[in-house]
Amino acid sequence: MKDPLQFQIDWVKRHPVSLMAKYDGKDPALFEKKKARHRKKVPKVSPPKKVREISVDEEIDLHGLTIDQGIVELELFLDMAREYKLTSVRVIHGLGPDKGDSLRKEVHRYFKTRGKKKISGFFVEPHNQGAVIVYP
CA distance 123 to 131: 9
Residue 27's pLDDT is 56
Identify the structural domains of the chain with CATH numbers, from first to last.
Answer: 4-37 (no CATH), 58-135 (3.30.1370.110)
Q: Give the tens place of pLDDT for each residue, 16-72.
A: 655 555 555 555 555 555 555 555 565 565 555 555 667 788 888 988 888 899 999
Q: Give the tens place of pLDDT for each residue, 122-136.
A: 888 888 888 898 888
CA distance 101 to 110: 13
- Average pLDDT score over residue span 1-6: 68
| Confidence (pTM) | 0.59
Q: Would residue 100 be called left, alpha or beta, if left means φ above 0 and alpha means ψ between -120 and 50 degrees?
A: left
CA distance 68 to 9: 59
CB atoms within 10 A of CB 51: 9
Q: Give the tens place of pLDDT for each residue, 103-128.
A: 888 998 998 998 888 888 888 888 88
Residue 44's pLDDT is 60
Q: Which 8-state DSSP code applies to residue 80?
A: H
Residue 136's pLDDT is 85
Q: Where are the beta strands (DSSP E) in the chain?
A: 58-61, 89-92, 121-124, 131-135
